[in-house]
Amino acid sequence: MRYWFSTKRYDRLAFLFLASGTAAILIPLWSPGIPNPGDFLMSIHRIFELDSAWENGIFYPRFGINLNFGYTAPLFQYYPPLASYLGLFFHSLGLGLIASAKAVVSLSLLLAGWGMYIYAGTLLKSRLAALVAACVYLLSPYLLLVIYERGAVSESLTWAILPWLAWAAHCYTETPRRQYGLLTGAFVALAMLGHNATALFVVPLVALYVATLAAWGRDWRALGRVAGAFILGAALSAFYWAPALLEMNLTKSTEFMFSGGTSIEANVKTLTTLVQGSLVALYAGPERFRFALWPLIAGAAGMISLVVSQRRHPPLLWFWVTALAVVLFIQLDISLSFWQNIPFVRFIQFPWRLYGIAAFAIALLFGAIFTGPLALRTAWQPTLATALLAICAWLSLVTLRPAALPNWQAMDAGAINRIALWERGRVGYPLFGDYTLRTLSIDDRGLALSRPVEDPMRLPPIAAPESLEVRAENPLRYVLDVRSSHPWTLRLHRPYFAGWQVTQDGAPVPVVPGGVGGLVTAELPAGEYRVIANFGDSAVRRAANWISIVALAIGLVWLLPWRRWWVDVLLVVGVAAAIGAYLAWLQNDGRFARYPLTTSAQFEEGIWLVGIDLPSMRYCTDDTIPLRLYWFTDRTPITDYKSFLHVITPDDTAKVAQIDTMPFDSFNPMTRWEPGELVDYAQEVPLQGVPAGRYTLLIGLYDQETMQNLRVLDSTFMLPGDRVRLADLEIVDCGS
């Protein structure tokens, strides 16, 4: 039964049954709110970060550009991106960010059930057995725990991919058809991009399964070709996992992962605490991370059937019995030597994450009952299967409602924004702290705190250039025109990470981390020249990218009819070059997000306004004016100045709109800035209640304690009262 989707009536009915069952299981998920303010909310914020990157012309970001209060953090360098891209896809269809994350989880559960139906049908040779296995897999308490209690969107993808990977690899072992090889490679890659921690176990598990299948049939050539498909899949996803693994030492992530409550040692169990004490699955309380009782009973029934009627069952089921036993064993404290001595396995963090493998094995074993002795009573099979599945459904779903889940939190789409993200970061948020760079000298929460005047880590002032103009910018690339009569120091409002490059008229300039934040720092000479600072690829990332590009080219060429080997080689080289050129074009100078207006205003304390980005000079009444401000400072200010943005009448007799705030909406005070730092951030001015007409937008700085405006030393557009004119605006009534 090797097919994607049969057009036969019973397969269509099976799909409709599984889809309907999945929808019923997911009804509580679509209640208002979110399942978990930890994992699920972080999944939502990852979609938010990816969406922000795309808005800035960055289509595969390594960094989350809003993290760490605008300093950024290497989020997508280390966290698998598949769930975020799927969420972005749903968001592009019009769903809100919360709904998009729920859509990813919903799709995962549907694919998990359907994939199990396809794979179990292939292995067990019975559609009824396959349908039972699929339903038991859908009802697995651990899969539902992942969704409803943990809200682990990325991990839910693993348990959706597992049956598809097992099916494709099984088929490719039995027959050398190319489509199965390509599918095997694709599912290996998706597993790595979906949730790399669980993929470290799932991919080798399926590889062992293939080896067992090939050994059973004594088809060693099959083992070779499937190994090639696995290598292809690993190569396809190398652009992510290779840098994540090989550049892990650039962050403090391992200290967080392997200590305290997130360590393996804190999460193994004793024999008496391995299994829940209730027949009804528990999703809350101290027993929620124990293995549910009823699936073990179902698995035991399947093993008894396997022993009683071995001739009616495929021998490969014993492989899954072994997998189940191993997974349960390594949950116990007596298995600590395995976790402590085998390379990389500690990255799973929580051994109970492997319950998904146990759930998969149990579903197969229980489904296999309907290919054993029960096959003799064909007329009773559907009735008995329905009754047993109804009991399983009740045991799994009776406690599965938001009111019974303590982690369920009321939240709507309006709460997903940059300010709310920073509010969480100020009190400690794993999205910030998990990827703390080793060059950061303070806690990540300290980036939002004022720096005292007596701070011994303050750097001395620099000599500022006479002219600094921002010509183009996105969060990871700046083009600056500079005129300076002396050498000077440039620092970007970005942490240094391998791959940052600075050039002066095309010549590379050494880049180092500087200041408390470990900022991108370059020493520049006197003269008049263009500076380009951009985040590129390290040697590791370049190599990994090309491995994935070549692997993709091989996969595409493999789809074509067979040719002579040298033709295939030429095609692979040509396709890889075309893909590489296209990706380079996506990152070229034409992909900037903004081209700021040159606006020069020098304030006291060495603070310069060097540019603004204003998308338009014409707005509707009750609109919001979005702009971006670009500042440069030659010293660390001694006071946390506030900026004011006023909309005034042309004759300066009336102020019709204003906003007063510290930089980054008060999450990055000026005393945190370093000498030579170029700082840019978004700001909005609401126009609610402003009548149609012509107005002027102006800016200034003031001391919060004295309420005195900071003196403007030099500006072409200076107004009385130490204010600087930014632009003349037209406000129109768009409703008339």
Whole-number pLDDT of residue 1: 41
pLDDT-based confidence at residue 717 (cuts at 50, 70, 90): confident
Query: Which residue spans of the chain are classified as CATH 2.60.40?
Result: 450-536+571-595
Contact 517, 447 (CB under 8 A): yes
pLDDT higher than threshold 90 for residue 403:
no
Q: Alpha-carbon distance 141 to 281, whole Å?
A: 6
pLDDT higher than threshold 70 for residue 410:
yes
- Give the amino acid at 590: G
Instruction: Output the CA torsion sign for 722, 727, 730, 731.
Output: negative
Whole-number pLDDT of residue 373: 54
Question: 75: exposed, middle or buried (C-beta count within 10 Å: 0-12, 13-18, 19+)?
Answer: buried
Proportion of the chain above pLDDT 70, given as a percent: 96
Query: Which residue spans of the chain are classified as CATH 2.70.50.60?
Result: 601-732
pLDDT-based confidence at residue 566 (cuts at 50, 70, 90): confident
pTM of the model: 0.95
Q: Alpha-carbon distance 500 to 510, whole Å?
A: 10
Residue 111, number of CB atoms within 10 A of its CB: 18
User: What's the whole-number mean pLDDT along residues 407-424?
Assistant: 94
- Please report where in the chains the tokens 């006071």 appear, as a residue: 639
What are 568-608's pLDDT values in tens digits?
899 999 999 999 999 988 776 556 789 998 888 999 999 99
CATH architecture for the domain at 601-732: Distorted Sandwich (2.70)
What are 203-260's pLDDT values in tens digits?
999 999 999 999 988 888 999 999 999 999 999 999 999 999 999 999 988 777 677 6
What are 452-490's pLDDT values in tens digits?
999 999 999 999 999 999 999 999 999 999 999 999 999
Contact 283, 144 (CB under 8 A): yes
How big is the chain, counted in residues?
Answer: 736
- Please report where in the chains the tokens 């100020």 appear, as a residue: 426
End-to-end CA separation in angstroms for the chain: 64
- Please report where in the chains the tokens 């804190």 appear, as a residue: 266
Contact 549, 579 (CB under 8 A): yes
Whole-number pLDDT of residue 522: 98
Instruction: State the DSSP string of 307-372.
Output: HHTGGGS-TTHHHHHHHHHHHHHTTBGGGHHHHHHSTTGGGG--GGGGHHHHHHHHHHHHHHGGGT
Q: Alpha-carbon distance 491 to 464, whole Å?
A: 12
Residue 92, number of CB atoms within 10 A of its CB: 11
Determine which helix (DSSP H) or strand (DSSP E) holds 693, and give its type and residue range.
strand 693-702
Contact 551, 232 (CB under 8 A): yes
Fold adopted by 450-536+571-595: Immunoglobulin-like (2.60.40)
Residue 493, number of CB atoms within 10 A of its CB: 23
User: What's the whole-number mean pLDDT along residues 699-720?
Assistant: 94
User: What's the whole-number mean pLDDT along residues 614-640?
Assistant: 94
